[in-house]
């Protein structure tokens, strides 16, 4: 049974579709949650209000995960407010669409900085308090494209592949302290990120998915919550595909 009572979690990208679903799920099972967001203050405020209205604890913090000190600020804020840190969920991410031949170096840099380097910043900061208490759960959002590739999103695919590699390496490093590190790799999910993909490509994708539909944020959140929970104590270094059967490994 999933139970986060007494635990403290940080969720980056907590104002986005998947991030919101993760925040609400963590709180539903008892966690106190720090919601990291970048631009969408209104959405972050709404998800915090929804958690608080259910009798649970949550707070929001504006943060840019691309900044080197962002992870330290998030971790310090959570510990100052609730005394510890048990769970880190990295959901922050951006996406665009267009062939590599037309991709600007700035777009490439921003995607890698947000989707990959941002995870480095937060993971590095979270490790020390988790190591001190000899317990922790880190779940990083990657993407199906990190293993399969996808036309028009070479930067997104490269970052996701990097997240998978980082997750595996860190899982080996952190294991002696009973810290597990896993990744969840969504396929085509109904969030703002797929709005950059042309509708005909979305329709084509839905047609080759075994379940013949796009996924929902709550379906990704369910996988994240499992891996973040105490019941997943013997799972680390894994990448769980949540793609409706697009890939089958």
Q: pLDDT tens across 161-187, in order?
A: 999 999 999 999 999 999 999 999 999
- At residue 1 the predicted structure's pLDDT band, cuts being 50, 70 and 90, is confident
Q: Tell me the pLDDT tens digit for each residue of 121-160.
A: 999 999 999 999 999 999 999 999 888 888 889 999 999 9
- At residue 118 the predicted structure's pLDDT band, cuts being 50, 70 and 90, is very high
- At residue 238 the predicted structure's pLDDT band, cuts being 50, 70 and 90, is very high
Mean pLDDT of 71-76: 98
- At residue 44 the predicted structure's pLDDT band, cuts being 50, 70 and 90, is very high
Mean pLDDT of 33-37: 98
pLDDT of res. 130: 98
- pLDDT surpasses 80 at 87: yes
Q: Two tokens at 164? A: 């998978």
Mean pLDDT of 90-105: 96
pLDDT of res. 64: 98
- pLDDT surpasses 90 at 193: no
Q: Two tokens at 152? A: 């028009």
Mean pLDDT of 25-47: 97
- pLDDT surpasses 90 at 194: no
Residue recorded with tokens 């590739």: 149
Q: Tell me the pLDDT tens digit for each residue of 48-58.
A: 999 999 999 99
Are the C-beta atoms of residues 75 and 125 closer than 8 Å to each other?
A: yes
pLDDT of res. 165: 98
Least confident window among 20-34, 45-59, 197-211: 197-211
Could you tell me how far CA 137 lies from the centroid of its own chain?
12
pLDDT of res. 204: 83
pLDDT of res. 198: 85
């Amino acid at each position: 049974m999933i139970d986060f009572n007494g635990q403290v979690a940080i969720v980056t990208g907590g104002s986005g579709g998947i991030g919101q679903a993760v925040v609400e799920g963590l709180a539903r099972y008892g966690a106190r949650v720090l919601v990291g967001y970048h631009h969408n203050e209104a959405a972050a405020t709404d998800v915090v209000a929804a958690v608080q209205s259910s009798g649970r604890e949550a707070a929001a913090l504006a943060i840019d995960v691309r900044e080197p000190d962002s992870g330290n600020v998030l971790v310090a804020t959570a510990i100052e407010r609730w005394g510890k840190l048990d769970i880190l969920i990295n959901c922050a991410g951006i996406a665009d669409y267009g062939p590599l031949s037309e991709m600007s170096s700035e777009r490439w840099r921003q995607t890698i900085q947000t989707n990959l380097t941002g995870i480095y910043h937060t993971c590095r900061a979270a490790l020390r308090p988790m190591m001190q208490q000899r317990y922790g759960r880190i779940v990083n959002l990657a993407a199906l494209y990190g293993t399969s590739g996808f036309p028009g999103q070479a930067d997104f695919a490269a970052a996701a592949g990097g997240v998978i590699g980082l997750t595996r390496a860190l899982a080996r490093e952190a294991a002696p302290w009973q810290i597990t590190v896993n990744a969840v790799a969504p396929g085509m999910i109904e969030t703002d990120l797929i709005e950059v993909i042309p509708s005909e490509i979305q329709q084509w994708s839905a047609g080759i998915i075994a379940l013949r539909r796009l996924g929902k944020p709550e379906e990704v959140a369910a996988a994240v919550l499992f891996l973040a929970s105490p019941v997943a104590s013997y799972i680390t270094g894994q990448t769980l595909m949540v793609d409706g059967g697009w890939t089958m490994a």
